[in-house]
Amino acid sequence: MKVELTHLSFYRFYPIVDPIVLRMQLKSLCAQLELMGTILIAPEGINVGLGVGDAPERIVVARQGAPIGVGDTGDAVG
């Protein structure tokens, strides 16, 4: 059986106030969307590499519907 995966990869340097809270939020989202891969979270930023299958659109919808600590403003989050 052939399975196609889309690889989503990005990083962003910005202050993360509470990496542990962000970890819990992202772990929950990834479980809901059945994503697999690696997310590195540190006080200075985030690095993501995920195999997302057909999930890119679902990630965008989930991100728009839930306040997860990965902001678009560059402000401190978490």
Q: How far apart are CA 44 and CA 50, in angstroms?
A: 20
- Residue 12 resides in a domain: yes
Tens digits of residue pLDDT in 26-64? 888 888 888 889 999 999 998 989 887 766 666 555 555
pTM of the entire structure?
A: 0.65
**What's the mean per-residue pLDDT of the chain?**
74
- Residue 78 resides in a domain: no
- Residue 1 resides in a domain: no
**The domain containing residue 60 runs over which residues?**
7-65
- Residue 52 resides in a domain: yes
| Helix 19-32 with 56-65: angle, nearest 10 deg | 130
- Residue 45 resides in a domain: yes
- Residue 21 resides in a domain: yes
Total domains present in the chain: 1
> Tokens representing 40?
């590195």
- Residue 75 resides in a domain: no
